């Protein structure tokens, strides 16, 4: 997989963590379990550094998708896009496409073949 795609996937994992930390219900639950969530600033700084390493065209596309959807990149676990549930073309599942980022032709989300 191209390094820029790897960075983009890492960015989404980080964005999910930041969102979870900002979510009052989730963070309260974690705090009640005994976790100290004091490093939100560090996470946000890590996000800035990571985003800088990704080509602008790709990050712009990712951020536009994130404005509309909960996740810009979805795993492919069946023959349908998990975002819009439209069937994916069979070419997606060829060995040549494994571990690459593809695009759902219907909704535009990026798809990651596990």
Residues that bind other proteins (CB under 8 A): 1, 6, 9-10, 12-14, 16-17, 20-21, 23, 26, 29-30, 33-40, 42-43, 46, 71, 73-75, 77, 82, 99, 112, 114
Other Cβ atoms closer than 10 A to 109? 19
**Bridge-based pairing state of the strands 110-113 and 73-76:** parallel
Name which of 77, 102, 106, 107 is nearest 91 in CA terms. 102
32 phi, psi to nearest 5 deg: -65, -25
For 68, the token pair is 């509309």
Nearer to other proteins, 44 or 60 (CB): 44
Nearer to other proteins, 1 or 86 (CB): 1
As measured in angstroms, the least distance from the Cβ of 112 to other proteins is 6
As measured in angstroms, the least distance from the Cβ of 95 to other proteins is 15
Distance between CA atoms of 12 and 20, rounded to whole angstroms? 12
Nearer to other proteins, 36 or 57 (CB): 36
As measured in angstroms, the least distance from the Cβ of 47 to other proteins is 9
As measured in angstroms, the least distance from the Cβ of 16 to other proteins is 5
**What beta strand segments (E) does the chain contain?**
73-76, 101-103, 110-113
């Amino acid at each position: 997989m191209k390094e820029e795609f790897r960075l983009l996937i890492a960015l989404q994992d980080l964005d999910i963590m930041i969102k979870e930390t900002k979510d009052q219900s989730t963070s309260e639950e974690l705090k009640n379990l005994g976790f100290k969530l004091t490093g939100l600033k560090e996470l946000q700084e890590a996000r800035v550094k990571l985003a800088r390493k990704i080509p602008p065209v790709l990050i712009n596309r990712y951020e536009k998708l994130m404005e509309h959807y909960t996740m810009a990149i979805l795993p492919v676990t069946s023959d349908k896009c998990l975002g819009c549930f439209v069937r994916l073309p069979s070419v997606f599942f060829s060995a040549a496409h494994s571990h690459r980022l593809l695009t759902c032709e219907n909704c535009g989300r990026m798809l990651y073949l596990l």
